[in-house]
Structure 1
Amino acid sequence: MVSFFTGTALLALTTLLPLAEALDNGVARVPVLGYNTWNAYQCNIDQDLMITTATLMKSLGLQDAGYHYVNIDDCYGELQRDNQTGRIVPDHIRFPNITAMNDEIHAMGFKTGIYSDSGWFTCAGYPGSFENEALDAETFQDWGFSYLKYDNCAIPFDDIIREGIVGKYERMANALTDLAKKSGKPPFVFSLCEWGWSQVWLWGKNFGHSWRVTGDIAPQWDSLAAIINFNSFITQGTDFSGHNDMDMLQLGNGGLTFDEAKSHFTAWALMKSPLLIGTNLSQITDDILGILKNKEILAINQDSVVGQSISPFRWGINPDWTSNSSFPAQYWSGPSENGTVIMLLNTLPEPATMFFNLTESPWIRAGRQYSVRDLWSHTDNGTAVRNFTAENIPAHGVVAMLLKDAGNEPSGIFPQCAVWFQCTSENGTHVGG
């Protein structure tokens, strides 16, 4: 029998259980930015494609925007290991010299990542790394990779594995740690692709730098909404060196409106998910490229002072803390190096006006006014006092702002409190709103 948590039950679980300490080993302190082949190409990959993709990332300005990883997903190998060395073998036709490929991509200034699986086989049926963790880690490093996405297919029978899901990932984590000590090279970036079924956000940061929190993304609003909703209850799992991975960016693959694409990118970036592009870059439009290169949004994702995700402060159309995969939380905030980040997400299929009192966000001080920076129009939009209203946010659209303290609010404002509940004078008199 499969059981699912309601939002309330999930919140209670994550409140009661302590979060693990992050794996702070000198790499991936902030989310990884880069490219992954799976969403655009699945198994239709080869050496030329990887070099072409890296070349496009450079010429399109994505490298300058901070996207520094070019990652291969599944299907790069032969179906059998080498019968003498036991090593995984690159497909001899599609990847005739995978080391030379990496050398060429590295020469462009990129790092490279590869994929494997914690079971007998990968999800596409290629050799997995179970019982070959140390050998495969060494092989991947010998080929020139420094990032490993590690999947969860083809799990061995219980009488073979004799450990839980944590132990299955710990095997490769230990192999990568030992390899770094042995080789003297920086540790691999380790991305756990466990899909979140075993509350990976509670234990994943013991072993990796990011962990998938749901199943695979699809380029439809319903998929985005479900992932945002699930992640809204576990934002405390993200901080420096450990990130809830909401899966790859599905921009430009069809199925999303332009406003939905903006919401997708904004939510992923501000929740500090790794940002791995999954689009055919030879077909990318200027509009989608502009979304991916939004430097003000990217700066918050890559904040070197504050590592935590934004979190909901009001649930919008749902009763508080109620899970709704179609209508996730709409009102979000969080701290950053340069002010309070606000995300207003219109989850409705029609335009909406959204209003909130500033102090509903725990990061806003009462009695202060705040300058408003729009992170999409890149404009300074005056000063907010007590509350803020965003008019006509498009269907499934987003507003992203940075609020900076601009001093005391003007004197003489009535009522004395923006949020009237329990507003009390020094003599004990409650003041109405």
Structure 2
Amino acid sequence: MGHSYIQVPERDGFSCIGSEVHGIVSLFKVPAPQRLTLQISTTGIYSCSGITTCAGYPGSYGYELIDAQTFTEWGIDYLKYDNCNPPPENVLLENSLGKFQRMADAISAGESQVWLWGASMAQSWRITTDITTSWSSITSIINTASFVTSSSGFYGHNDLDMSRGNGELTYDERKSHFTAWALFKSPLLIGTDLTSISNDDLGILLNQELIAINQDPNVSMSISPFSWGVNPDWSFNASYPAQFYSGPTSNGTVVMLLNTMAQQEAMCFTLTDSPWLKPDIKYIVRDLWSHTNNCTAVGSLSVSVPSHGVSALFFKEAGNSSINTGYPACAIAQNCGVIASGDVDWRHSTSPRPWMVGVLVALLLGALDFL
């Protein structure tokens, strides 16, 4: 199904406690850890740097080394390390916890700008507070993720938190949620009751084409926004994050169109607004939710997206614009100057594109090094 880890959370698995010889006591809500790792090829576990965990169970404080050794002996492959309930600062300064503080900070919900240094300590790091099953939580996390995409790579990933189901989200919102998590290259951990999951939710979580892009063995880059849509570019808005994203893959370019509005929108963009799509090239456009090659696109593209919904499109080069691919032309808006909401779209102005600004700044900083 594309998911290979079983991650045991704090309330259902094991907790660390200093009074035991090995620093660990099992809560026995799941099989003994040694037996669990024999049954499952890749197993994850939760621990915490504090005296107690966020839910009040015993933490690893003071027993970090012995707990790490025990996890290794159990065959644990994935450690989620939290940072709740540390002792008072004067206690921290007097003992050895400082050796582990940066590791703890890596899961502190983005409070320490962990995306700037997390790769030196771990393979993934949380960038926001805990997710909830609400649209406002989804858009807030997407908004934060859109500003730190450059931190994601082969050796470390921005963790957008769990993939949620069985909650208040609509079907379209759940599709948007999973699409964004997959294309931002977040670790995909399902945080829902699989015994009561609906067929619709299961179908979302098992989208093999999105999972394949998330797990691309050759390209580690996350999608990044190339236009904010309804807001001015670079707007930090937790309710209305950027709407137009793209990124490279091994075989082409993936584009995500996110409709944050309360009504269906015709979302239009010029292909070359994305740094990954070329001028005068005809592209076969594949819908990653219908799993069909729907049309060809040259120049610009307009897609109808439901309220709080998403369009996930895969663009594959099909030669220059004069070549007949056999697919019908996509819905094209020759002038994406006005979007459905009536706001003027900057993308046909003379202003620099967001990705161009980043390139120009990098070139300027590089030039200053030689002065």
Q: Same fold by TM (over 0.5)?
A: yes
Q: Please give the TM-score of this superposition, normalised by the length of structure 2.
A: 0.83
Is 1:98 aligned with 2:33? yes
Aligned pairs (5 A) from 1:273-312: 273-312=186-225
Match of 2:18 among 54, 78, 81: 81
| 1:46-88 superposed Cα distances (whole Å, 9 cap, x missing partner) | xxxxxxxxxxxxxxxxxxx2211001111334684344x1511
Number of the residue aligned with 2:139: 225
SS at 2:137 equivalent = helix
2:163 is the counterpart of 1:237: no
1:97-246 aligned at under 5 Å gives the runs 97-103=32-38, 105-106=39-40, 110-162=41-93, 168-170=100-102, 192-246=106-160
Q: Secondary structure at the match of 2:115?
A: helix
1:169 deviates by 4.1
How far apart are the structure 1 equivalents of 2:67 and 2:302? Answer: 54
The Cα of 1:96 is off from its aligned counterpart by 6.5
1:404 aligns with 2:339: no
The one-letter amino acid of 1:242's match is G
Aligned equivalent of 1:343: 256
Deviations 1:128-168 (A, max 9, x none): 223322100111122232110000101232223239x9954
Partner in structure 2 of residue 353 of structure 1: 266
**Counterpart contact for 2:17–2:60, Cα < 8 Å:** no
Structure 1 residue 98 displacement after superposition: 2.9
Q: Secondary structure at the match of 2:136?
A: helix
Deviation by residue 1:321-360 (Cα, 9 ceiling, x = unmatched): 0111111110000111010110000001111110000000
Supply the AA of the counterpart residue of 2:84: C
How many residue pairs were aligned? 328
3-state SS of paired residue (1:229): helix
Q: How does 1:11-90 map to 2 (within 5 A)?
A: 65-75=1-11, 76-77=13-14, 80-83=17-20, 85-90=21-26
Matches within 5 A, 1:327-342: 327-342=240-255
Q: Structure 2 counterpart of 1:296, which letter?
A: E
Distance apart, 1:362 and its partner CA: 0.5
Q: Which amino acid aligns with 1:134?
A: L
Deviation (angstroms), 1:120: 1.9
Query: Secondary structure of the equivalent of 2:24?
Result: coil
**Contact 2:106 / 2:122 at 8 angstroms: preserved in 1?**
yes
CA distance in 1: counterparts of 2:290 and 2:237, whole angstroms: 30
Displacement, 1:123?
A: 0.9
Provide the rounded CA distance (Å) in 1 between the counterparts of 2:197 and 2:58. 33
Instruction: Give the CA deviation at 1:204.
Output: 0.6
The Cα RMSD (Å) is 2.5
1:265 Cα deviation after fit: 0.3
Matches of 1:142 and 1:207, distance apart in 2 = 21
How many Å separate the matches in 1 of 2:82 and 2:123?
Answer: 14
Identity %: 49
Tell me whether 1:260 sits opposite 2:191 in the alignment: no
Gaps of 5+ in 1: 1-64, 173-190, 423-433
- Any gaps of 5 or more consecutive residues in structure 2? 324-333, 338-346, 351-371
Distance 1:167 1:271 in 2: 31
Aligned to 1:378: 291
In the alignment, residue 97 of structure 1 is paired with which amino acid? Answer: A
CA distance in 2, matches of 1:386, 1:78: 56
The 2-side partners of 1:193 and 1:303 are apart by 25
Which amino acid in structure 1 is aligned with residue 234 of structure 2?
W
Query: Larger relative CO (CA 8 A, sep 6+): 1 or 2?
Result: 1
Is 1:266–1:297's contact at 8 Å kept on the other side of the alignment?
yes
Provide closer, same or farther for how the CA distance between residues 420 and 343 of structure 1 changes in structure 2, counting only shifts above 3 A: closer
CA contact (8 A) 2:16 2:67 kept: no
